Structure formats: structure tokens, C-alpha cells
Structure 1
Amino acid sequence: MAPVDQRHLQEINLIVESLGSCECKKLVYLCESFDSDSSAESVKDLLKSKVQEHGNAPQLFLTELTWRLGRFDIMKRVFKVSRNEVEQTLRCSQVLSRFRVLMTDLSEDLNKEDLEQIKFLLSNQLSREKMNTKSFLDVLIELERLDLVSPERVDIVEECFRDIGRVDLSKKVTAYKMSVETSEQPSSREQNRRAPVIRQGQPHHIARMSAPLPVSRLPSIGSPIERYRFNTNPRGLCVIIDCVGKDGVLLEQTFKALHFNVVLHRWLSADETLSALRSISLQRENHAGLGFVCCVISRGTVNQLLGTDAHGDGLPMNSIRRLFTADACPMLAGKPKLFFIQRYSIPELAQWAGHLETDGCDGLAVGNGIPTDADVFWSHCWTDEHQLVQEQHHSVYLKALTDALHKAQRRKTHLLDVHTEVNGAIFEHNKRNPGADYHMDVKHTLRKNLYLH
């Protein structure tokens, strides 16, 4: 390759020196690199290499990069072109990967909660390091490395957006996918000229078989959605751990009325909570029913529950779920696993930085290709712990939940509709009591409809 001329070297230096760290990370991604190093020198070296690759149009490559980053000030200062001029050029000629451009745009539309839900859905595919990332682009790079995502294979991304309720983003991915598939189809003249070809090697057709995903599937148009078989008596085990002495009995009465075998533990520490849950997860007789329910009421921080402990290591909430994945509990594979968490928030302090480890394993699939994290419904509510000092305190969330579950028993109501009622009750409470707000996080990987009637 010919060396980069002095003019382009100067342009590269001016671009990189004008960008922040987040913009450098996006630039590296747009350059189709898998490198996580977004330091200034590394980015400059990457741009030099890409400019050499685009020998016929290095100027277009660099101007499109700055345009995609929204740095129109750099375009005007370095390349002496306006935003409109570049837009007109890109209508006819685009050099950056359409796939990476789309993913970068989508990442801009995701908020922190969306990203956390996506990482939850993909927790079996992502390494522990990537589960801690704050960047959707890092998640995408990991999926590309695992050969689960590519410019021709975007099913995972499409379905993740759909499952977290971001239908607007899912539609953008669908439109891109359709354009890719259309561009791959031969013209009618070519079809008449050559023998038919069975296009069975397209990556997006084999993705579902090569690595089952922990996201719910939508049925084909016109076909009814399957429902979980969940109407036996008893339905399965419900374990309730009440570490604050409030509402455990209310939950016990509710799930007994719903025909669950109920085990209630009260006043457990974080370590005792983990021990009790681990013991339940290892006892095969506990999972002979058609599903499993776990309810925990505890003080805690954003990611950890403390039980009755005033200090020390907490129990990571994610560890609770991992104890009951399909590989940790094979008898629960394919069965709905419901988690209801009421957390009373305490301040984040340094002494709670540690955590308890569990034996949970994050394999890919068990049995008939069922993802280990499939069939999970996770409902987490939190409010300030100061409410516990009230003598007659009861959780608004748990009261709304039990009321809605009792109604669902009397009529054909989907579990998601049950939570719509809970959301409404919490919204009305927050409106009337601005100093006692409740917050909810609901996510799921259910593959079928779930009714509790």
C-alpha cells in the first residue's frame, strides 16, 4: 500500500485530537475494528490503515466518519465542507459499513435501563467482563466475535429490542434485514438464465440452530402463541424469604391460594438467604411441578441484597436467578421461573462493595435447545428503607401484586397484564405520595403466554 500522504496525516491528527473518549470508541467501531483500545495514538494508527485501504476515496471516508459522529464543526474546519454537502454526497456514495452505521445510531437511542435489560437477555452469551460494560457497542463486538451477529445476521439484536419493548428500534433492524435479504436475491433475468439455487447457507437462517438465545420468540404471523401448561395442583414450589418481617405472610397466603407449595423463611442474613436458596435449588423434589416462584423482601443496594445484615457482603440479585437456570436445575428447563423482589434501598457504602459467589453456571443450552436463561420472569421493585419505620407499613408493590394475582385467578389474565395493573397502582401511589416513590423493573424471557387462572 502507498504511504498516507502528509495532508491526510494532518487531517487524521486534527480529527482525533478534537474527539472525546466516547467519540473515539464510536469511531473505532465504525471502522469495523474489534480492538477495544480507543486511545488517541491507537485511533490515529487505525485511521492511517483505513485511509490506505480507501486509496481511491480517503477524503470521502474521513468526511463520512466525522459526519456519522455528528461532528459537523470538524468537517467544516478540516475539510471545508458543509453538512448539507456531505449529506448530498452520501445519498449517492457511502463507504462505511451500513451495518455498523445502523448499530451506532441505535446505540445512541438506548438508555441505561435498556442496556441493562439487553445484557440480562444475553447473559448466557456475554462474559462477566462484558456484563459490566456500559457500552452497547462493546456488547455488539462480543456478539460478532462469537459469530452470533454479523452484517447478514441481526436476529438477536432485532429480538432483544422487541423483548425490552423498544419496538421502534426493532423495526429499524427489521427494515435493514429486509434490505439485505432483498439485495441478495438474484434478478428475474438471472433467475431465468441459471438453475435454481437453494440458499441454505445464509448465516441468518442458521443462527437459531447454532446458539439458542435467551430471548422470547414471536410466532409466525397468524399462528397462535403457545401457553405454558401451568394448571396442576400443586403448580410447583414457591419460596418466600422475608428479611424485614413485612408482607411475607401476605405472599404466603396468595401463592397458597394459587395452588403452590409454599416455603416461607423469615429474618435471614444474606449468607443464610444464599444457603437456603442453594439448598432448594439442589433438591430435585422441589422442581417436580410445572414452574417455580421465588419472592424476596430485603434491604439492599442497587445490585445486592443484605438480608438482616447491617454491614458486610451482600447477595448479588443476579445470583438468585442463576441458581435456578436450566443447567443449575435441569428439572426446571422449559418451565416458567418467576421472581418477585421487593428491595428497600439503603445508601451505597464501601463496606458493601463485596459479594457472595454462587455455584450457578452459565452454559448455553440444555435439553431440546432451551436456553438456560429462557422462561424467566423478573419483577424488581425498590423504595427507600425509611418507610420501614412506619408501624403499619406494607409494600404498595406487594399489595398491588397480590391483589392482581387474586384477580388473575378468577379470570383469564396473562402475567404481563397482571403487571400492567401493578404498574397502574404504583403510578397512582407515587402521584399521591411524592416522598414515598416506588420504582419497578420488569423483564422476561418467557417463550409462551403464562396464565395463573
Structure 2
Amino acid sequence: MALAPPPHLLQTVNQIAGQLNSDECKTTAYLCGSPGADTSAADVKEMLRAQLVGGQIDDLFLVELLSELGRFDILRRSFGTSKGQVERALGSRHVLSKYRVLMASINVNLSSEDLRTIKFLLSHTLPQEKLDKAKTFLDVVVELEKLDEVSAERLDFVGQCLRNIGRIDLAKKVHSYQQSVGAPQLQPVAPRQISQQQTHANPVSQMHATPFSSPTPSHFGPRYQANQRQPCIPPGDMAVPVPRQQHCQRSLDEYKLRSDPRGLCLIIDCVGIDGEMLEQTFTALHFKVVLHKWLNVNDTCSFLRETSKWRQHQEADAFVCCIISRGNATDLLATDSHRAGLSLEVIRHLFAADACPMLAGKPKLFFIQRYSVQEPMPHADWNGELETDGIGAKSRLETVPVDADVFWSHCWTNEAQLERGDHRSAYLQALTDALHRGQRRKTHLVDIHTEVNGAVYDHNKRNPGATFYIDLKHTLRKNLYLS
């Protein structure tokens, strides 16, 4: 029979519960092993009192709990101790579940945008009603625990999800936990990789998961605008958003590319450079390649519209679109110089699942080389002209991409480089080289892009006056091998 807890601890519990906000109440319930969607201060008080009476927790538990909540003000008032004293007193004698502490720590460090991205990526794992009700990462974790997708011994799912949204810092915490407890784990994050989330401005690579912004201030928003001109970050400081899977998992976690041809590769070369190189590369990768050169905006729109209605998409396993054009952050100019451009958002909409259902669930790859023009371009709303089922009027600030199964690689450099007679795109050259190597080694597409990132970074170091910038973001749900 458990001894009655000291009266002062019961009083302390009452004081603690009365000073926690709603998020802290929810975190407390989770840390105590009693998660609830709408945990109130009264619920926390009754839960802690019951666990005190049952002998499940003690004063050390409460001290560590407050420490994890970051409520050192309550610690000082209730226990007369400081943060440093708590850390020294606890040492390695932690009483809270390390797993639950880790999940709570991730919850605190995720932004609202991160959470929206995670919920989007889990749309095929959790029912929509559950995702709609989830207000925090802990809510999502609780639902995943119910499905036995996540537990103290099974954290690969969480680690991969964090990599998918580019939160490599948090993925590393998961990896460290797995090492400390000896849990099965994915391969460690490789040292030469690229980041998908968090705005580490970088001329070589700028990756976001959601809200999947486009690559310049007008589309990225104020965070990127403030940092856009920072110097390059060496590729060694970056990390891959999607880890390589164990061989035994590959068959379950990869897109199946079995059709012959794999699908259509549409190449639109509006500057007359590198189109043939791409044609050779994707032909070798078993795609049906259609190359159009020197198109204006109207013709580009027409070919994209026709391609989105291509009947053979039904039998194909993938789709690739490569565009080489002058333009600005949000629009491509094709061969026109004084008329409205074609919105990148419109291009993405044409092949979204609602507009092109024959490609739903299949990987859609976009590789765009843009030569940035200096003068602003007028914008025309091409949605009306394209008249594609499912495309409505969209805000210019809507992000690219937002649908599942999209890989969006966008490189830009100054159009002045086109004045050089020997100009070739360092980005497209690196891409074709990496794709050829990846075909021989059966390399995941994200890892292939890591190689591209490194090659472009090296080019930029050697040619400071001819810098290329890369923006990579994707919503791939599985690994993708083009070999």
C-alpha cells in the first residue's frame, strides 16, 4: 500500500496546475503518460494528485517536469531552486520518459508551418478528421502511437518525417535518442547533404517543405528576403531531407517505375542551350522525350496544356518537365521580351492531381533553369486561357508545390551569362552528370540532387561572377529511383 504523499507536495501540485497555460497542460499530460486533446488545468491537477497518491511520482518528478516545461519561475517559487541547481541535482537520474521528453522537445521547436507540412505529409497515414483536430505535434504523435507507427522503440517514422520537412536539427535529436537506447534506426544523416526546411539562405540550395515558397523575395516572404544575399554555405553543412532506406524497406517505400517508357519528359528550351543535353539524358532514363525550342509564352502555354491532357499519362509511372527560359521569381518569359510572363504557379497547377488526375499519385518532376531579367514583367492570368479542369483563380502568393508527389528543382542565374558564346548551365550540366551516375548506382533522386548541389557550389567558388542559385523542394511520399 502506497504511503500518503506529504501535504506540501499536494499543495505544490495545486499551485503548479494553476500556473500552466493550455499548451503546458497538454504537454504535462503527455509527459505523465495521460495525453488528452483538451487537457485543462483542473485535469492536470487531478492527474498529478492521483499519481502522487498512487506513488507513481514524487518531488523529483515534479522538479524535472517543470524543468522540461521551462517553467523555472515556478521551480524557484515552489522548490526554491534554480535551473542550474536542477540540472546538477538531476544529473543522469532522469525520471521522465526519455522518449516522451524527446517528443515534447520536438513539439516546442516546430513552427506552425512545420506542423502544417507534417500534417500534409501524413494525409495518407492518418484520417483527415484526426489531422484536422490535431493542433500540436503531440496530438499527431498520439494518433501515430495509436496506430503503432511510433513508439519509444520505433522512431524511424518520426525521423524521416522531420527530414522530409528539412528539420535536420530535430532529426538528429531522434537519431541521438535511438543511439542512446539502442533502438533500430535509419542510416545516419550523411555529411554532404542539403536542407529542405528552415531559411538558411544559400546561393546553392534553398529548400522548403511547406508552405513551399518560391525562390526569391517576392515569393519566399520576408524571412528569405532578409537573408537572400548571405554568402554560400558549404555543402558539408547541409543535410538530406529524405534518408536512404534500408534495402529491405526499399520495395515498400519507393515509387514503382516499370512502364516502358517510364513516362513523358517535356523539355521546353526557350534560349537554345542545353535542351539536347537533357533530351539525351532522359531518353537514356527510358522516358519518351518531347523537345520544343524557341517558344514564346503563348506556345509554351499551349504545349503545357496539351501535355497535361496527354492520354498516355494513364499508363505512365512518372512525368518530367524541364524548362529553360528567361524570367523572374514568379513568371517565365520564354522568348518574349515585352509581354506578360507565364506563372510558375500555373505550370504546377496544370499537373496537379485535380487538374491532371491521370498523374495522381505518380511522381511529377520539374527542373527549371531561369535566366533572371532585370526589368519587371507584367503579369497575365493564364488560368482562364488554360481552362484546365480543377484550376481556379489562385493567389500569386500561393506556394509551389503544394500537392503530393512533386519534385520541384528551380535554378536561377543572371541573364547576362547568355551573352557569353560558350555558356552552358552549370546546374543542368551537374544535373545530367548526376543523373547518369545515379542510373549506374541506383541512387535516390534527393541524393542525386545533393550531388548537383555540391557541383554547383564548387562552380560558384571557382566563378564568383557567375553564381547559380538552387531552390529545391518536394512532396515526394516515397523514395524515387530513376534507374
Query: Taking structure 2 as the reference length, what is the TM-score of the superposition?
Result: 0.55
**Is the CA contact 1:107–1:137 (under 8 Å) kept in the aligned structure 2?**
no
Aligned partners of 1:359 and 1:320: how far apart in 2? 9
Q: CA deviation at 1:5?
A: 8.3
Counterpart residue number, 1:31? 29
Distance 1:406 1:144 in 2: 43
For residue 297 of structure 2, give the secondary structure of its aligned residue in structure 1. Answer: coil
State which of 135, 138, 144 in structure 1 corresponds to 2:136: 138
1:383 corresponds to which residue? 412
Residue 322 of structure 1 aligns with which residue? 352
2:248 partner amino acid? S
Report the RMSD for the aligned CA atoms in angstroms: 5.7
Alignment equivalent of 2:267, drawn from 208, 225, 240? 240
**How big is the shift at 1:130?**
11
2:47 — aligned with what?
53
Alpha carbons 2:322, 2:366 under 8 Å: kept: yes
* Partner secondary structure for residue 439 of structure 1: strand
Alpha-carbon distance in 1 for matches of 2:410, 2:59? 52
How far is 1:277 from its partner? Answer: 4.7
Alignment partner, residue 439 of structure 1? 470
Stretches of structure 1 lacking an aligned partner (at least 5 in a row): 17-23, 37-44, 181-213, 361-371
The answer on whether the counterparts of 1:339 and 1:378 sit within 8 Å (CA) in structure 2 is yes
Q: Taking structure 1 as reference, are residues 230 and 222 closer, same or farther at Cα in structure 2, changes over 3 Å only?
A: closer
* 1:160 to 2:161 alignment: yes
Instruction: Quote the offset at 1:175 in angstroms.
Output: 6.0
2:396 pairs with 1:395: no
Aligned residues: 370
**Superimposed CA distance per residue, residues 354-412 of structure 1 (whole angstroms, 9 cap, x where no aligned partner):** 9969739xxxxxxxxxxx95xx572513335x446753465321222124445666x55
Q: Residue 220 of structure 1 is aligned with which of 248, 252, 258?
A: 248
Contact 1:300 1:306 (8 Å CA) reproduced? yes
Structure 2 CA distance for partners of 1:123 and 1:388, relative to 1, 3 Å: farther
CA contact (8 A) 2:281 2:432 kept: yes
Q: Is the 8 A contact 1:52 1:58 kept in 2?
A: no
Aligned to 1:427: 457
Correspondence for 2:312 among 285, 294, 301? 285
| Aligned partners of 1:130 and 1:138 also within 8 Å | no
CA contact (8 A) 2:410 2:470 kept: yes
Q: For residues 112 and 382 of structure 2, what CA distance do their matches in structure 1 show?
A: 23
Is the 8 Å Cα contact of residues 243 and 268 (structure 1) preserved in structure 2?
no
Q: Unpaired segments of 5 or more residues in structure 2?
A: 1-8, 185-241, 334-338, 392-402
Code of the aligned partner of 1:64: E
Q: Deviations over 1:13-60 (max 9, x none)?
A: 6665xxxxxxx7466444346659xxxxxxxx8334302221126966
Alpha carbons 1:248, 1:264 under 8 Å: kept: yes
Distance 2:348 2:123 in 1: 10
- Distance in 2, matches of 1:126 and 1:226, equals 20
Which of the numbers 272, 278, 282 marks the counterpart of 1:255? 282
Structure-to-structure mapping, 1:399-418, within 5 angstroms:
399-406=429-436, 411-412=440-441, 414=443, 416=445, 418=448
Amino acid paired to 1:338: L
- 1:101 corresponds to which residue? 101
1:189-204 to 2 correspondence within 5 Å?
none
* Separation in structure 1 between the aligned mates of residue 340 and residue 28 of structure 2, nearest angstrom: 48
What is aligned with 2:82?
82
Q: 2:332 aligns to what?
A: 307
Instruction: Report the Cα distance in structure 2 between the residues aligned to 1:223 and 1:241, rounded to whole angstroms.
Output: 33
Q: 1:93 to 1:430 in 2, by over 3 A?
A: closer
Amino acid at match of 2:470: H
Q: 2:28, 2:438 → 1: CA distance?
A: 49
Which residue pairs with 1:198 in the alignment? Answer: none
Q: Do the aligned partners of residues 119 and 102 (structure 1) sit closer, same or farther apart at CA in structure 2, a change above 3 Å counting?
A: same
Report the CA distance shift for 1:6/1:318 in structure 2 as closer, same or farther (over 3 A): farther
TM-score (normalizing by structure 1): 0.57
Q: CA, structure 1 residues 74+300, in 2 after alignment: closer, same or farther (shift >3 Å)?
A: farther
Distance 1:249 1:404 in 2: 17
Cα distance in 2 between the residues matched to 1:424 and 1:280: 32
**Structure 1 residue 160 displacement after superposition:** 2.6
Q: Aligned pair in 2 of structure 1 residues 254, 311: CA closer, same or farther (>3 Å)?
A: closer
SS of structure 1 residue aligned to 2:248: coil
Counterpart contact for 1:227–1:449, Cα < 8 Å? yes
Q: Do the aligned partners of residues 5 and 291 (structure 1) sit closer, same or farther apart at CA in structure 2, a change above 3 Å counting?
A: closer
Give the counterpart letter for 2:366 in structure 1.
F
**1:317–1:7 Cα change, 3 Å:** farther
Q: Deviations over 1:127-180 (max 9, x none)?
A: 999999xxx983552464575556577553144346678563453564699779
Q: Structure 1 pair 178/90, CA: closer, same or farther in 2 (3 Å)? A: same
- Would you say 1:339 and 2:366 are equivalent positions? yes
Separation in structure 1 between the aligned mates of residue 347 and residue 390 of structure 2, nearest angstrom = 14
Give the aligned residue type for 1:427. Y
Residue identity in the other structure for 1:323: A
User: Given the alignment, which residue of 164, 171, 174 partners 2:175?
Assistant: 171
1:67 aligned onto 2:50: no
Q: Structure 2 vs 1, CA of residues 54 and 112 (structure 1 numbering), >3 Å: closer, same or farther?
A: closer
Rounded Cα–Cα distance in structure 2 between residues aligned with 1:247 and 1:129: 47
| Paired AA for residue 101 in structure 2 | V
Output the amino acid matched with 2:288.
Answer: N
| Separation of aligned partners in 2, 1:247 and 1:112 | 40
